[in-house]
Copies of this chain bind each other. A is one copy, B any other.
Amino acid sequence: MLPGPTNVPPRVMRAMLKPLIGHRGPEFKELFTKLLGKTKKIFETKGDMFILTSSGTGATEAALQNITEDGDKIIVNVNGFFSERLGEAIKAYGGRPVVLSSEWGKAPLVEDFNRIVKANPDAKALAVVYNETSTGVTVRALEQLGELCADYDMLLMVDAISIQGGDKLPVDDWNVDICVTASQKCLMTPPGLAFISVSDKAWTKIKSKKVNRSYYLDLQMYNKYIEDGYTPFTPAVTLLYALSEACDMILEEGLPARYERHRVCAEAVYNGMEAMGLGLYAEKESRSHTVAAVNSPLGMDEGKVRELIRTKYGIDLGGSLGKAKGKMFRVGIMGNVGSSDIMTTVGAIGSATSELGFKAKIDEGLEAARETLSRLPGRVN
Contacts and interface: CB of A to CB of B under 8 A. Distances in A.
Interface stretch (A120-128, A146-154, A229-237, A369-377): A229-237
What is the copy number of this chain in the assembly? 2
A214 B92 contact: yes
A286 interface: no
A11 to B, nearest CB: 12
Contact of A58 (B22, B94, B233): B233
Contacts of A165: none
Given A53-B55, A92-B218, A25 B235 contact: no
A68 to B, nearest CB: 11
B212 A92 contact: yes
A57 interface: yes
Contacts of A182: 234
A216 interface: yes
Interface string A22-37: 1111000000000000
Contacts of A216: 54-55, 57-58, 61, 217
Contact of A213 (B14, B88, B93, B316): B93
A54 B57 contact: no
A190 interface: yes
Contacts of A61: 214-216
A303 B218 CA distance: 28
A255 interface: no
Interface in A144-185: 182, 184
B5 A191 contact: no
Interface in A14-60: 14, 16-17, 20-25, 53-58
B17 A5 contact: no
B89 A215 contact: yes
Interface residues of A, number: 53
A333 interface: no
A55 B93 CA distance: 21
A283 to B, nearest CB: 26
A92 B218 CA distance: 10
Query: Which among A16, A191, A212 has the greatest number of chain B C-beta atoms within 10 A?
Result: A191
A164 to B, nearest CB: 15
Nearest to A213: B213
B213 A92 contact: yes
7 contacts: A8-B20, A23-B191, A61-B215, A89-B215, A191-B236, A213-B213, A239-B239
Given A55-B233, A192-B236, 8 more contacts: A5-B21, A16-B238, A54-B58, A57-B234, A61-B215, A190-B237, A191-B237, A238-B239
